[in-house]
Amino acid sequence: MNPEQIKQFNHDLLKWFHENGRDLPWRRINNPYYTWVSEVMLQQTQVDTVIPYFNRFISLFPTIEALAGATDQEVLKCWEGLGYYSRARHLQQGVREVAEKYDGKVPEDKNELLSIQGIGPYTAGALLSIAFGEPEPAVDGNVMRVMSRVFLIDDDIAKAKTKKKFEKIVGALIAEADPSAFNQSLMDLGALICRPKKPKCDECPLNAHCLAREEGAQLEYPVKSGKAKPRSIDYTVLLIRDAERRYFIEQRPETGLLAGMWQFPMIAWDPNEKEKVLEDAIQKKYGWEVRFVRTSFSYTHRFSHLIWNLSLYEAAIDGTVDPETRTTWEHLDKLTHRPFPVPHQKIIEWIEKNRQNHT
DNA sequence: AAAACGGGGTT
DNA sequence: AACCCAGTTTT
């Protein structure tokens, strides 16, 4: 594109944004902390899902100092159900870095931002442009979709290299006059007009510039390689109560899947195996001799990369179990004070619904 | 360069 | 059921 075309492109895009841009909670005032929180929540998560989480999060942790001073369990509880929980952990770590190293002020230097936990190329670009007005690209899935269509770029957007190509393109196009509006307009355009399916090309401010539209090939873009199918794991979930009708729960490890969240004990077990195999596995992992009372509930939970097939076993154990580190006994009505992954929330809901049957 | 990492919404 | 989403970190 020549300079005149770039100018026209910017004009068309920003005019559309000023008339059609979304009114979102984190856009009402320019607060770098709000922008940061919103950008992290919006990673791999849609706007409509994020809005209530954002409002609750900001009311609980209104400032960098408040979030830095909170416990990780408080933060995790507020994030419960939003997914990708390492985002919450990294956000709090990052905020603590800013509180300590930068006197609680989000730095305006790109390399300093990139050194902060949880801030990668996209979030750094978003903060620099939206919060600080710097002409930095912020390339996400929306931007790659819009740009791949406008410029008919067929590189696989699943590749890391491709994103750099788009950053170069955006860097050459971005309006120095209002980088914040430029980047946010691409996001809104991707969400409202240049959608993956059924794009509203007739309403698009860029349709005069769009090569894919010229070819009638909008739906062929962006090009993206497929992902592997999720693998499936069978688990037996143990529902165990003590004499005071408290449930045994454990906290997951500090790293990996659903880090730091709470759950009922789970044992990987293929139902085609004999029950003896399960009993031995429980003996080995927990040191318990269990007597199964009944199997009562099953639930399948689908993650992006794996599938849990959960079967609930109500069980009794001989003798007593003392709570250890990362395990405890808890009454039903207090379970939800702690963060639980959604599949275990479903189990809690099932217990509450059926409590009269087995209390 | 590829895999891990959640959950909900849309089609 | 497949695909998508304002990505980053770890391997």
> Cα-flanking dihedrals φ and ψ of residue A108, to 5°?
-105, 10
For A30, residues 6+ apart whose C-beta sits below 8 A from its C-beta are A130, A131
pLDDT at position A270:
87
Fold match between A3-220 and A231-357? Answer: no
Return the residue matching tokens 């009372």: A293
A356 or A244: which leads in pLDDT: A244
Q: Which of residues 142-201 of A touch strand C (CB under 7 A)?
A: 142, 145, 184, 187-188, 190-191, 196
Mean pLDDT of chain A: 95
User: What is residue A247's three-state secondary structure?
Assistant: strand
For A331, residues 6+ apart whose C-beta sits below 8 A from its C-beta are A244, A245, A246, A247
The domain A231-357 is placed in CATH, from the list 3.30.565.10, 3.90.79.10, 3.30.70.330, 1.10.730.10, at: 3.90.79.10
CA A125 to each of CA A110, A145, A149: distance values in angstroms, whole numbers, following the listed order: 8, 18, 22
d(CA A252, CA A237): 14
CA A193 to each of CA A142, A184, A189: distance values in angstroms, whole numbers, following the listed order: 10, 13, 5
- Does the pLDDT of residue A8 top 70, yes or no? yes
- Does the pLDDT of residue A97 top 90, yes or no? yes
SS3 content of chain A, % helix, strand, coil (to 5): 50, 15, 40
CA nearest neighbour of A297 among A258, A232, A348, A246 = A348
Domain residue limits, chain A: 3-220, 231-357
| Predicted confidence (pLDDT) per residue in A191-237, tens digit | 999 999 999 999 999 999 999 999 999 999 999 998 888 999 999 99
d(CA A205, CA A19): 11
For nucleic chain B, give residues with Cβ below 7 angstroms from it.
A 44-46, 48-49, 81-86, 159-161, 195, 197-198, 228, 256-259, 301, 303-306, 341-343
Report the range out of A65-74, A169-178, A269-278 with the highest average pLDDT. Answer: A65-74
Q: Which residue gives the smallest C-alpha to C1' distance to B6?
A: A83
pLDDT at position A357:
63
pLDDT at position A156:
97
pLDDT at position A294:
79
Q: Which residue gives the smallest C-alpha to C1' distance to B10?
A: A197
A330 is a catalytic site residue:
no
The confidence band for A296, taking pLDDT boundaries of 50, 70 and 90, is confident
Under 8 Å between Cβ of A235 and A268: yes
Q: Looking at A19, A39, A80, A250, which residue is catalytic? A: A39
Quickly count: other Cβ atoms within 10 Å of residue A320's Cβ. Answer: 7
| Predicted confidence (pLDDT) per residue in A202-211, tens digit | 999 999 999 9
pLDDT at position A358:
53
Min mean pLDDT across A126-140, A249-263, A265-279, A329-343 is at A265-279
Q: Specify the CATH architecture of the domain A3-220.
A: Orthogonal Bundle (1.10)
CA A138 to each of CA A120, A123, A171, A285, A319: distance values in angstroms, whole numbers, following the listed order: 10, 7, 9, 47, 58
Under 8 Å between Cβ of A113 and A128: yes
CA nearest neighbour of A264 among A301, A291, A236, A244 = A236
